Structure 1
Amino acid sequence: MTTHSTQSAIPIHGESLEYLAFTLGHEEYGVSIQKVQELRGYDAVTHIANAPEFIKGVVNLRGIIVPIIDMRIKFNLGTPTYDQFTVVVILNINNRVVGMVVDSVSDVITLTPEQIKPAPEMGGAVDTNYLVGLGTVDERMLILVDIDRLMSSNEMGLIQQHAA
């Protein structure tokens, strides 16, 4: 298994890692629980002019201006709907606080290295650079997102620009 230069979410040497499982559309995803600061319901956001569509806006979270990103829009998974199940996952990534809108959150799953398979090549349909791999637990399969890579990409630099 390859390792990344960032403090990656790939377990090494038999250690288990915990992932917060969330849904987007019909798929289940996972993000390292170490990056999760808190979970919140979806509230109204302050929209920012000329921001990319996936940046829903910003919220004031205890004095910190937090950009809110809709992952369904980011991953081209159709038009998002916001209801009582919609959750904003507040993440702390490289000392930046970012909110990630997901359809729902289910639970925290512990995965061992043996339960994580490399992400298959998708032929450009999906950018696999942002994926840690696929985690399997019984009949469940989680698409594990390397949130550090996703949120430190050039595109995400726009978030900071528009939130400032």
Structure 2
Amino acid sequence: MEDEDTLRGKYLIFTMGNELYGMEIRYITEIISIQPITEVPEMPEYVKGITNLRGKIIPVMDARLRFKKAVREYDGRTCIIVIDTIGTSIGLIVDSVAEVLTMNDEDITTLPEMGKGGHKYIKGIGKTGGNINLLLDCQKLLTGDELDMLGAMA
């Protein structure tokens, strides 16, 4: 419970293209450079495969493809954010990691209604220093079926 308090309001900010995204630091296990990924047949396009992280096999998905963004070559800044969501470790490939920010409740607003779907992964909008950060809901990045599928891979 004490750890929960020290992590409250802390977000890891990362980039995909020109957009800034954030996720609560309490879900993040570690950040690693891009690793060799073994493809697994018959997976959705956004699931790149699995990687061996110090003896633990974890599924890896490309955040760009998950959010229906254009494919981009991986480079020296590309990294994998390893998150633990609902008891499953997943690697999330992002363009780059920017910083860790502390945001208070008053810095976060809800996403305006913009029609059906399109923002089921977005928990809110963080406003910091003139920037807008789309804050992801780590609990909703994957559906129950997707979690079961990825959990079976590990």
Per the normalisation by structure 1, the TM-score is 0.84
Structure 2 counterpart of 1:119, from 111, 115, 120: 111
Alpha-carbon offset, residue 151 of structure 1? 2.9
Cα distance in 1, alignment partners of residues 144 and 22 from structure 2: 19
Q: 1:116-161: per-residue Cα shift (whole Å, max 9, x none)?
A: 01012221361x2221110001211100000112134433433224
Cα distance in 2, alignment partners of residues 89 and 16 from structure 1: 19
Query: Which residue is 1:80 aligned to?
Result: 72
What root-mean-square deviation, in Å, do the aligned CA atoms of Structure 1 and Structure 2 show?
Answer: 1.7
Structure 2 counterpart of 1:19, from 1, 4, 11: 11
Unaligned residue ranges in structure 1 (runs of 5+): 1-14
Query: Which residue is 1:150 aligned to?
Result: 141
Query: Which residue is 1:136 aligned to?
Result: 127
Alpha-carbon offset, residue 52 of structure 1? 0.7
Judge which range, 88-97 or 152-161, deviates more.
152-161
Letter of the aligned partner of 1:83 in structure 2?
D
Once the two structures are aligned, what percentage of the paired residues are identical?
32
Number of residue pairs matched? 148
Q: Is the 8 A contact 2:46 2:66 kept in 1?
A: yes
Equivalent positions of 1:1-150 (< 5 A) are 17-124=9-116, 126=118, 128-150=119-141
Per the normalisation by structure 2, the TM-score is 0.89
Cα distance in 2, alignment partners of residues 151 and 124 from structure 1: 18
Q: Is the 8 A contact 1:131 1:143 kept in 2?
A: yes
Cα distance in 2, alignment partners of residues 151 and 111 from structure 1: 25
DSSP-derived class of the 1:155 partner: helix
The list of structure 1 runs, each at least 4 consecutive aligned residues, that deviate by more than 2 angstroms after superposition, is: 151-161
DSSP-derived class of the 1:151 partner: coil
Cα distance in 1, alignment partners of residues 8 and 59 from structure 2: 31
Cα distance in 2, alignment partners of residues 52 and 34 from structure 1: 27
Cα pair distance change 1:94/1:125, threshold 3 Å:
closer
